[in-house]
């Protein structure tokens, strides 16, 4: 299964909560992360879970926000690793972040998450991981704002759920 996601497009319930966390508003046509100050961060009511063996998650990030996106990914790793929940460390073990050295369409930078194996039922929602790891703090709000502002308005995220067909090395 392949689905297109972008902040506010596709997985609208997930993004409604994320936009509320960063102070954005949903419009009928598209969601654009807002530069307005973020309200206090709260755990999102929804989760991003995967039920298949692996995931390829494409993130198209504004070139001038690449450093912010990479900062957020460092914080995601930190939150996963410092969690007292064993499943968070298992998530981290199967999650790799790649950056394409090639220029992306529209001047965006392509980051690819390869999650293999997926921890079925675990929450991969970035905003939830950050909020859980850093609590309801100004730091959390800053991290979530950087994350939201790193994406262009639409077509910024694509997720492909994957099942193994063959493993040639085995």
Q: What is the pLDDT of residue 135?
A: 95
Q: Which of the two residues, 32 and 8, has the higher pLDDT score?
A: 8
Q: How far apart are the first and last CA of the chain?
A: 25
Q: Say which residue the tokens 């293999």 belong to.
A: 116
Burial call 128-167: b when 16+ CB within 10 Å, e when fewer: bbbbbbbeeeeebbbbbbbbbbbbbebbbbbbebbeeeee
Convert the pLDDT of each residue in 34-44 to its tens digit: 333 344 444 44
The pLDDT, as a whole number, for residue 45 is 58
The pTM assigned to this predicted structure is: 0.72
- State pLDDT tens for residues 93-121: 999 999 999 988 889 999 999 999 999 98
Which SS3 state, helix, strand or coil, does residue 97 take? strand
Proportion of the chain above pLDDT 90, given as a percent = 65
CB–CB of 33/7 below 8 Å?
yes
Q: Quick one: pLDDT band at residue 9, thresholds 50, 70, 90?
A: very low
Q: Which residues contact 166 (CB under 8 A, 6 or more apart)?
A: none
Instruction: Could you list the beta-strand ranges (E) of the chain.
Output: 2-5, 54-61, 95-99, 109-115, 157-162
pLDDT of 129-140, one tens digit each?
Answer: 999 999 999 999
């Amino acid at each position: 299964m392949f689905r297109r996601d972008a902040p506010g497009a596709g997985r609208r319930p997930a993004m409604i909560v994320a936009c509320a966390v960063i102070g954005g508003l949903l419009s009928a046509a598209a969601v654009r992360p807002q530069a307005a100050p973020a309200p206090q961060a709260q755990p999102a009511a929804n989760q991003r879970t995967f039920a298949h063996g692996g995931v390829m998650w494409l993130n198209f990030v504004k070139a001038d926000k690449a450093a912010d996106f990479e900062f957020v990914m460092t914080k995601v790793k930190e939150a996963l690793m410092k969690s007292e929940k064993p499943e968070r460390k298992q998530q981290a073990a199967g999650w790799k972040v790649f950056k394409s050295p090639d220029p992306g369409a529209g001047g965006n930078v392509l980051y690819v998450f390869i999650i293999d194996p997926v921890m079925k039922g675990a929450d991969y929602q970035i905003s939830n991981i950050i909020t859980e790891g850093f609590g309801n703090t100004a730091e959390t709000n800053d991290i979530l704002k950087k994350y939201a502002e790193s994406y262009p308005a639409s077509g910024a995220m694509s997720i492909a759920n994957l099942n193994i067909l063959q493993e040639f090395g085995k």
